[in-house]
Amino acid sequence: MENRIHIFDTTLRDGEQVPGCRLNTKDKLLIAEELELLGVDIIEAGFPVSSPGDFESVSEIAKLVKNATVCGLTRAVQKDIEVAAEALKHAKHPRIHTGIGTSDQHVFTKIKTTREDILVRSKQAVKWAKKYVEDVEFYAEDAGRTENAFLAQVVEAVIAEGATVINIPDTTGYCLPEEYGAKIKYLKENVKGIEKAILSTHCHNDLGLATANSIAGVQNGARQIECTINGIGERAGNTSLEEVVMIMRKHSWLKSDTRIDARRLNAMSRLVSEKMRMPVQPNKAIVGSNAFAHSSGIHQDGVIKNRDNYEIIDPAEVGVNESSIILTARSGRAALSYRLEKIGFKLAKEELDVAYKQFLSVADKHNVVEEEQLKELMNALAISA
């Protein structure tokens, strides 16, 4: 692998910011354990100063996790950093993730200060964090809408203070892929000392571009992607872990890959969905219930002849047993015959013609024709298995 991309999972921090989706410490520990088995490089376990519960979760995850780096979020505030350091003190590989807003919108309207003050506070935050841990990640909040020249100034200053990872969040999900990629390229080309740090993407999905923007970042030199299982997160969510992992695996020309064991993706998705009580949309890429389901006659016929006709991923690669042929009124003879064979009925051509006619009248009355209804149909036609 030419470039290993580090997967920074923030399901337990940014992902947990979904309204009504709070997890208890036990659930967080279970998810952290599974994330480690999945092969993520960094687990962002929470925002320790935000509540005693979050502090406890980060602290327990820090004790539990052995291989991945465990990270805690802070604002560029001394107290936040001290509390995060305390929560992370038992971690084998601790990381403090600190930062501040850098766009004019955040500097002048949210923080109500000056760019000079932002520079001072950014450097100070990294300096505080470095007192406790070697691995310090800095985020320039709303970097997506930050002027590149000022962003470069902030990034250069925090690298000089020892920041090891620089996060470029498109906090509002505003950027187009070309724009976000160009931002990463600009930093690679204009920041003194950039080779000392890893550039990270952190994209939100307000315009449905989080995955595309993260990949554009990688194509332009980012070496870490921040993402969540099922793409959960505030508003329209974050970059979806399963999507970026499989994009890099399917497009090997990107010469970028991860350590993720993709066969665990389906189970991981179901675990997070269940614990967060957040259903996954059926047509969600990779992990949706329809991601490997074929229901129209033309597609079913093609898939039955050769899976590659309509599938770019072998379902087993992501932990799904097999793709499914769903019987509806749009299905053809090939699909009916395929499903009947699966339950032991091998029909001659004439039998299939008769059965298909009957099948269509059942299918017109139901969304999906199930196995039980197929058996009833065979029974009515006196065809035995």
CB of 201 within 8 A of CB of 239? yes
Residue 139's binding partner among Zn ion, ligand KIV, none (Cβ under 5 to 8 angstroms by kind) is: ligand KIV
Query: Residue 301 CB, nearest distance to Zn ion (Å)?
Result: 44
Q: Name the segment binding Zn ion (CB under 5 A); options: 7-15, 60-68, 138-146, 272-280.
A: 7-15
Q: Is 14 in the site for Zn ion (CB under 5 A)?
A: yes
* DSSP conformation letters of 324-372: EE---TT--HHHHHHHHHHTT----HHHHHHHHHHHHHHHTTSSS--HH
Q: Name the segment binding Zn ion (CB under 5 A); options: 8-16, 283-291, 357-365, 377-385.
A: 8-16
Residue 251 DSSP SS3:
coil
Residue 174's binding partner among ligand KIV, Zn ion, none (Cβ under 5 to 8 angstroms by kind) is: none
157-196 as b/e, with b when 16 or more CB fall inside 10 Å?
A: bbbebbbbbbbbbbbbbbbebeebbebbbebeeebeebee
Q: Name the segment binding Zn ion (CB under 5 A); options: 9-17, 25-33, 160-168, 293-301.
A: 9-17
Query: Residue 164 CB, nearest distance to Zn ion (Å)?
Result: 19
In terms of CB distance, is 203 or 347 closer to ligand KIV?
203
In terms of CB distance, is 99 or 319 closer to Zn ion?
99
Query: Residue 7 CB, nearest distance to ligand KIV (Å)?
Result: 16
In terms of CB distance, is 144 or 319 closer to Zn ion?
144
- Non-local CB neighbours of 342 within 8 Å, separated by 6+ positions: none
CB of 101 within 8 A of CB of 109? no
- 77: tokens are 């505030």
In terms of CB distance, is 87 or 313 closer to ligand KIV?
87
Instruction: For residue 168, give the DSSP letter.
Output: E
- Non-local CB neighbours of 359 within 8 Å, separated by 6+ positions: 327, 336, 369, 374, 377
- Non-local CB neighbours of 310 within 8 Å, separated by 6+ positions: 294, 299, 302, 303
Query: Residue 63 CB, nearest distance to Zn ion (Å)?
Result: 26
In terms of CB distance, is 135 or 301 closer to ligand KIV?
135
Range 195-214, binding Zn ion (CB under 5 A): none
**Dist CA 117 CA 115 (whole Å):** 5
Residue 214's binding partner among ligand KIV, Zn ion, none (Cβ under 5 to 8 angstroms by kind) is: none
Instruction: For residue 293, give the DSSP letter.
Output: E
In terms of CB distance, is 171 or 266 closer to ligand KIV?
171
Q: Footprint of ligand KIV on this chain (CB under 6 A)?
A: 14, 139, 141, 167, 169, 171, 202, 204
Q: Which residue has the tokens 């992990």?
A: 287
Residue 106's binding partner among Zn ion, ligand KIV, none (Cβ under 5 to 8 angstroms by kind) is: none
Query: Residue 167 CB, nearest distance to ligand KIV (Å)?
Result: 6
* DSSP conformation letters of 25-79: HHHHHHHHHHHHHHT-SEEEEE-GGG-HHHHHHHHHHHHH-SSSEEEEE--S-HH
**Dist CA 229 CA 242 (whole Å):** 7
In terms of CB distance, is 169 or 319 closer to ligand KIV?
169
Residue 69's binding partner among Zn ion, ligand KIV, none (Cβ under 5 to 8 angstroms by kind) is: none
CB of 69 within 8 A of CB of 34? no
Beta bridge partners of 136: 96
Residue 9's binding partner among ligand KIV, Zn ion, none (Cβ under 5 to 8 angstroms by kind) is: none
In terms of CB distance, is 14 or 137 closer to Zn ion?
14
Q: Name the segment binding Zn ion (CB under 5 A); options: 14-22, 155-163, 245-253, 371-379.
A: 14-22
Query: Residue 170 CB, nearest distance to Zn ion (Å)?
Result: 9
Instruction: For residue 281, give the DSSP letter.
Output: P
Query: Residue 171 CB, nearest distance to ligand KIV (Å)?
Result: 4
Q: Name the segment binding Zn ion (CB under 5 A); options: 11-19, 155-163, 279-287, 364-372.
A: 11-19
Q: Which residues bind Zn ion (CB under 5 A)?
A: 14
